[in-house]
Amino acid sequence: MRPALFHIGSGFPVHSYGFLLAVGMVFGVALAVRRGRSVGIATADTLDLTFYAIVAGLLGARLLYVLMHASDYARLCAGGGGGRAFGRILSDCTAVLRFWQGGLAFLGGALLAALIVLLSARRKGLGLGNVADVLAPSVSLAHVFGRLGCFLVGCCYGKPWAAGVHFPPDSVAYEELLARHEIFAGAECTPNLHPTQLYEAGGELLIFVSLLLLWRRRKFPGMVALAYAFAYGILRFLVEVFRDDQVRGFVFQLRLPGLAGALGLPPSDPLFLSSAQAMSLLLVAAAAITYALLRRRTAASPEWKTTSRPP
């Protein structure tokens, strides 16, 4: 766990979360440019779209995160000091802008970025399916780096697990568990927790590789993007079972002590249905329905042929 990777000059910190996020974006943009050329999208257009995606993604992800922590930000801005769980990151009204220190909700960013990119692509006269297919692997790759950043700052942490990892006092996990009175002041570290950040990073890496392989077999524009939406929805639903940061809340709480015990989780903890799990199910359903509709349309129009060349 390393919130700051290193310091520049007289102590200016380079935050691990922001640094890894930036690295993921650079690789993602480079990949998108290469993929875009293979379907006839000019480099300038791809750069425009990735810029819109990054800005909209950061805004959407930060906005959703701030809304989920609205009471803490309001307390800090009013001079109330805020809860211990946010004392490290949040110190004043400008804290809502400091996303590079951690605090992004991926689903919020993905939804806003998708909307802005698709509107921009339509305005440019680009095929929406091709644009989505070009950007989907880049989003998956950038998300791998983002979750590694989450692990280094200790956010998006998991439930207790004897074989898990622990986080030190300057981590988000430590401060939130302290605020919930699940550890005592002065504890050397958190209990061992499921490294859910690494679970999701590993899952995203597998999805990324799968999308690269699928690219050569895509049967219609949009197929790769729909595969990503479907696979990520399943991944996020499963990872949510092990997550313990509770700010997202539940649509309803379903406890299955037998299954929880088999998974090495506290039997009293609810496994379903968090708000993120509900959104994941909607994402999976929307991807599956859209895939079926587009596949049927493609079957009815056999003259369609992909213009992509494997790079």
The pLDDT, as a whole number, for residue 94 is 59
Instruction: Provide the domain count of the chain.
Output: 1
Q: What is the pLDDT of residues 149-170, one digit of tens each?
A: 889 888 889 999 888 999 988 8
Specify if 307 maps to a domain. Answer: no
Token pair belonging to 28: 């993602």
Specify if 275 maps to a domain. Answer: no
Could you identify the residue written with the tokens 């692997």?
A: 137
- Could you tell me the residue range of the domain that residue 206 belongs to? 4-224
DSSP letter at 185?
A: T
The pLDDT, as a whole number, for residue 88 is 43
Specify if 305 maps to a domain. Answer: no
Q: What is the pLDDT of residues 222-266, one digit of tens each?
A: 999 999 999 999 999 999 999 987 766 788 899 999 998 888 888
Within 13 Å of residue 250, how many CA atoms lie on the same side as its CB? Answer: 15
Specify if 59 maps to a domain. Answer: yes
Specify if 22 maps to a domain. Answer: yes
DSSP letter at 247?
A: G
Top-confidence residue, 5 or 150: 150
Specify if 185 maps to a domain. Answer: yes
Q: Is 213 exposed, middle or buried (0-12, 13-18, 19+ CB in 10 A)?
A: exposed
Specify if 132 maps to a domain. Answer: yes
Specify if 139 maps to a domain. Answer: yes
pTM of the predicted model as reported, rounded to 2 decimal places: 0.81
Could you identify the residue written with the tokens 């990324």?
A: 208
Token pair belonging to 293: 């509709």
